[in-house]
Amino acid sequence: MNALNAAPATLAARALRKCTVAVIGAGAAGLVAARELKREGHSVTVFEQNSRIGGVWVYDDRTEEDDLLGKDMNRKKVHSSMYRQLRTNLPREIMGFSDFPFTTEVLGNRSVDPRRFCNHAEVLCYLEAFADHFQLQEHIKFNTKVQRVQLVKSHIASCIDCIPSYQTGSWQVSTCSTNQGCTEEVADQQSVLETYDAVVVCNGHYSQPNIPDIKGIDIFPGFQMHSHNYREPKQFKDQIVLVVGASNSGEDISREVASVASQVHVCARSWKRGVADIGPSTPYGLRTNMYRHTVPSELTQEGEVLFPDGTKLPCPVHSIIFCTGYQYTFPFMMDTAGLHESSQSIPDCSSRGPLSKGMAPSESSAQIGISVHDQRVQPLWLHMFPPGLSPSLSFLGLPWKVVPFPQQELQAKLVARALSGRVQLPSIQDMWREINAFYDQLEQQKIATRYTHMQGASQWDYNDRLAILCGPDVIKTAEWRIQMYNATSAIRELDPESYRDIPLTCCDGFEA
């Protein structure tokens, strides 16, 4: 049988093994990881740096006032990227986990917003209800920041007898209390060091802003912020505002700001909706004070905005909001598990130098770390498993432009079953071959490295692959979910202003 399509191991041939597992983060991915690991019989500890579950769905009025662009990695960070009026861009029916529907009936008195496209508070209520229903709170250490995760090769993991091909060792996890500030000095004096058989990384990727390299950004005299620190529009009243980025948050925030601003100029690399010709005189949607442009090439100390074709905005702008996405960051693994920022497209995997395309490293040299290069976390098999370190190290929730919760559930099932031995993962060599083939495919399709983890329409095949690997008891994505997702996308293209309040008549009768 092809290892890439390996079937679950016969349970009679090997007893399921119980591992000690550290899960980093108690957002949606961390919660469903804890649930699946618990179901599989593992001993689970979830580390959450905040005082409650929910991750990015926990709204926080606070902003990073001293660094609104988020450039300083050592700044005092606010994890939340929610703005006050945020509503989901997906219908609640398709957001829910497979056996815990996201309905008002399930939430009962917890529900605060019954709308199909509900606000962020309703999503948080759902995650809290999920955690309570599956008794996950008892496994979570709140106000606990993971400082360091380090591979200990001299200590073979206790669960290794169930997965003999993956003798990578154990993981030391160093933590400290955020109630005590968790400064470097406090961490050195009061850190707690524990050893686990496996680590599941679920720290999210919506808290470290990504700022584009635009000439003059440091001399621009006006106000600048990343959408990570945006909460409400009132401070932009009567201003001329530039919004850089027109994906989900860019579209929503630009419209919200346009309700109070004099003008809003929205910039994007490309425009898929609307007119072909764009420029200062092209209104954006139904609002007459919104205009669309390409991404600026330069900002001046007079507040001018210049574009690559030599044109510029007719008037200086007062403020800039960067809705330009986020970076993948794993500060607790830097220099401890081989994780590093890389300038190479493929990390150095052997003594011969960077891995050649189509070639896998030898077994002896394959136990390498990972790198983050141009928004690609590499090398990862199925966006989850680093060859040579799997399944004792895994990453959940990296893909974007997906329906996140159900996908993370499938990822979590695969991790839990791989650790127990219910599922046998491919060999290191086969993982590498598939990783290289995937990178080659992206290159041939001229898809930039930064879009490695973007899925969109390909998420369904990916999800089905996960389901097949998990075993026959795990069902593939229901067709009604795909139809509802596609219907939402179509209506959004036609009416991005109010698509959330338009009935999805084509999907009436579908049940979660």
Contact assessment for residue 31 and residue 38, using Cβ atoms and an 8 Å cutoff: no
Alpha helices for 358-501 (secondary structure H): 404-420, 428-444, 459-470, 479-494
pLDDT of residue 287: 75
| Same fold? 20-207+328-335+368-481, 223-322 | yes
DSSP lists the bridge partners of residue 193 as: 174
Looking up tokens 């830097």, which residue turns up? 334
Spatial distance between the Cα atoms of 393 and 370, rounded to a whole number of angstroms: 11
Domain range list for the chain:
20-207+328-335+368-481, 223-322
Question: For the domain bounded by 223-322, which CATH number is listed?
Answer: 3.50.50.60
pLDDT of residue 134: 98
Q: Which residues make Cβ contacts (< 8 Å) with residue 100, sequence separation at least 6?
A: 106, 129, 130, 133, 134
Q: Which residues make Cβ contacts (< 8 Å) with residue 165, sequence separation at least 6?
A: 424, 427
Domain spanning 20-207+328-335+368-481: which superfamily? FAD/NAD(P)-binding domain (3.50.50.60)
* Furthest CA-CA distance within the chain: 74
pLDDT of residue 180: 61
Spatial distance between the Cα atoms of 160 and 19, rounded to a whole number of angstroms: 9
Contact assessment for residue 81 and residue 56, using Cβ atoms and an 8 Å cutoff: yes
- Exposure string of 16-55, with b = 16+ CB inside 10 Å and e = fewer, is bbbbbbbbbbbbbbbbbbbbbbbebebebbbbbbbebbbb
Q: Look at residues 353, 355, 392 and name the one whose alpha carbon lies nearest to residue 149.
A: 392
For CA atoms 403, 404, 410, 411, the dihedral sign is positive
Three-state DSSP at 366 gives coil
DSSP lists the bridge partners of residue 85 as: none
Spatial distance between the Cα atoms of 102 and 196, rounded to a whole number of angstroms: 33
Structure tokens at 416: 């839990």
In angstroms, what CA-CA distances link 29 with 57, 136, 381, 397, 412? Answer: 12, 13, 18, 6, 8
Q: What single DSSP character describes residue 329? A: -
Q: Look at residues 61, 50, 327, 337 and name the one whose alpha carbon lies nearest to residue 204.
A: 327
pLDDT of residue 139: 98
Q: What single DSSP character describes residue 296? A: P
pLDDT of residue 417: 98
Task: Please give the average pLDDT of every successive group of 10 residues along the chain, which has 512 residues.
Answer: 43 74 98 99 98 96 92 86 96 98 97 98 98 98 96 61 54 90 56 96 93 96 97 98 92 95 92 51 69 94 95 95 95 66 39 37 46 94 95 97 98 98 96 98 97 97 98 96 96 89 74 46
